[in-house]
Structure 1
Amino acid sequence: MNYTSFTLDITDHIATITLNNPEKANALAEDFWTECREVFERITEDPDVRVVIMASTGRHFTSGIDLMYLQSLLPQQDVDPARAMDVMRRKIKFLQAAFEAIDKCRVPVLAAVQGGCFGAGVDLVSACDIRYACQDSFFIIQEINIGMVADLGTLQRMPGQIPDGLMRELAYTGRKYPADEAMATGYVTHLSPDHAGLMSHVRAIATRIAAQSPLAISGSKEMINHARDHSLADGLDYIASWNAGMLSLPDVMKGATAALSKSKAQFDDLLE
């Protein structure tokens, strides 16, 4: 399937999604919001994919939501305000679904960020499992700078990724959050000197993830996300039930044999 907002390549169990509108700083226009949800739903059902890289082209990762598209979402002025707000709420939920699909994707999603990442771009990468960046990249919660509250997940996900006081400062001021600060405060895992080095590093991490048991990777993501949203007791009960029902003895034996023989285990794909 061809997409207009990005390209999709699947090679060696790694799906690479690349935003490809650098002339407009990879602004997230109307087609993106449907295509993003669709591609991650497709990936979740594809047993050949074990990890995703979310990348971009050009100077900036993304300038955020396309402003012309954003303007088209504003409520009508000549109708019942309550009904207009109901439409607006459904439009926001539609946009949120694109990044919910990333968060709920069965496999890990690695964000590779170059240049600026503005507004909805921060919502996007906050929904990813891990963020990597170039040394000169930066993040801005841009919504506050245009008089609105960020509403696509940044204010819900990012507080679990960085300290509370810093989260509030970024949300209230709309200032730049440079890559070195993001690295020091845990939002970013690794910095690379340039885009080529960034992609090389992220592909190396993706290759290591893809070499693991896909069932164990999927289960690990499920457990980490569950722990984020539930109590410790609930999490321990969930993993006990999960492993009681879905621990793969063939995978464990392959992994143990490979460890003892200092070789690489070859794990089967998941089923469709």
Structure 2
Amino acid sequence: MNDRVTITHLEDGIADVRMVRTDKMNALDPAQFQALADTIEELHGTKGLRCVVLSGEGRAFCAGLDLSSMSGNSSGDGEKKKGGATGDLATRAFGDANLAQYVAWGWRKLEVPVIAAAHGVAFGGGFQILSGADIRFIHPDTRCAIMEMKWGLVPDMAGFPLWRGNARDDVIRELTYTNREFNGREAHAMGFATHVSDTPHEDALALAKVIANKHPAAMRGAKTLCNAMADLSDADLLMLESTEQLKVIRTPNQMEAVMAEMQKRKPVFAE
């Protein structure tokens, strides 16, 4: 896409998305925020997309906010300074989210599953971007932190609505209040990561291939249901199950999924 984020379209509808600001460990400055948002918007309109793998090139997944990008702002509190890198924090420029939130929350709002592969460092905003993925592979030695309190800020890149489904309330509070660093193994034990892997990007691509060969409409419906679990009442979630099932059951693609499974072959779905 540009010098900050690249998209490589692989077979079976897999998009390999990489942050490529390697000289800054993929740290977030205004251009990086905008590139990530533009990437999500482009993926929304990509025909035939079935799965996304998100990673960082170089030594890190993402080192969080590039503090040098705040240095040119006028004096004021830290949140105003951060606004210089992310735009007006009060403006909901992307549905329910502002720009800073969208670069993490936007992955959850994509219709298809997003798999993140983290290594090196996932600090602050980088950790929140990682948290936006549906499934997260992490190298055991990855350095992680909810870093914002170190700079007198609060986490404000959609971390809280993402973390509440991952880790215990008291764990989130402690890590937020102290900005304590933890590694990939600890992230997995606490619920922030799905898998610990010595080869996270390779394993993420392997899983993406499995997901990409499932019924696309059923996969979109399953993600809709997963996203709704935390917000809907039992009755509404039961109804949503039925609504999503009625969209796919007995369709040609659903029957193709059945036949491919019975015949032990790769399915061929109509887009």
Structure 1 length as normaliser, TM-score? 0.87
Single out whichever of 152-161 and 215-224 deviates more from structure 2: 152-161
Single out whichever of 37-46 and 90-99 deviates more from structure 2: 90-99
In 1, the alpha carbon distance for the partners of 2:74 and 2:227 equals 33
Aligned match of 1:32? 32
1:117/1:221 CA distance change after superposition, 3 Å: same
Aligned match of 1:82? none
8 Å CA contact 1:123, 1:154 repeated in 2: yes
Amino acid at match of 1:225: N
Q: Secondary structure at the match of 2:7?
A: strand
In 2, the alpha carbon distance for the partners of 1:186 and 1:67 equals 29
In 2, the alpha carbon distance for the partners of 1:247 and 1:70 equals 52
| Among 137, 142, 153, the residue aligned to 1:137 | 142
List runs of 5+ in structure 2 lacking aligned partners.
78-86
* 1:108 Cα deviation after fit: 0.9
In 2, the alpha carbon distance for the partners of 1:261 and 1:235 equals 34
Q: Secondary structure at the match of 2:229?
A: helix
1:255/1:88 CA distance change after superposition, 3 Å: closer
| Among 198, 208, 217, the residue aligned to 2:219 | 217
Aligned match of 2:84? none
1:223/1:70 CA distance change after superposition, 3 Å: farther
| Among 117, 120, 129, the residue aligned to 1:112 | 117
Aligned match of 1:93? 98
Alignment root-mean-square deviation, CA: 2.3
* 1:37 Cα deviation after fit: 1.7
Q: Secondary structure at the match of 2:136?
A: strand
Aligned match of 2:209? 207
Deviations 1:187-215 (A, max 9, x none): 2122222xxx2222111000001111111
Moved over 6 A (4+): 73-77
**Structure 1 segment 31-180 matched on structure 2, within 5 A:** 31-71=31-71, 87-90=88-91, 93-180=98-185
1:49/1:140 CA distance change after superposition, 3 Å: same
Question: Is 2:259 the counterpart of 1:254?
Answer: no
1:231/1:267 CA distance change after superposition, 3 Å: same
Aligned match of 2:233? 231
Aligned residue pairs: how many? Answer: 258
* 1:121 Cα deviation after fit: 0.5
In 2, the alpha carbon distance for the partners of 1:261 and 1:73 equals 63
Q: What is the identity percentage for the equivalent residue pairs of Structure 1 and Structure 2?
A: 28
Amino acid at match of 1:33: F
Aligned match of 1:243? 245
8 Å CA contact 2:3, 2:21 repeated in 1: no
In 2, the alpha carbon distance for the partners of 1:248 and 1:15 equals 29
Deviations 1:99-122 (A, max 9, x none): 232121111111100011011011
Structure 2 length as normaliser, TM-score? 0.87
In 2, the alpha carbon distance for the partners of 1:39 and 1:123 equals 17
Q: Secondary structure at the match of 1:90?
A: coil
In 1, the alpha carbon distance for the partners of 2:250 and 2:44 equals 20
In 2, the alpha carbon distance for the partners of 1:123 and 1:74 equals 26
* 1:87 Cα deviation after fit: 4.8
Deviations 1:68-87 (A, max 9, x none): 2244567769xxxxxxxx95
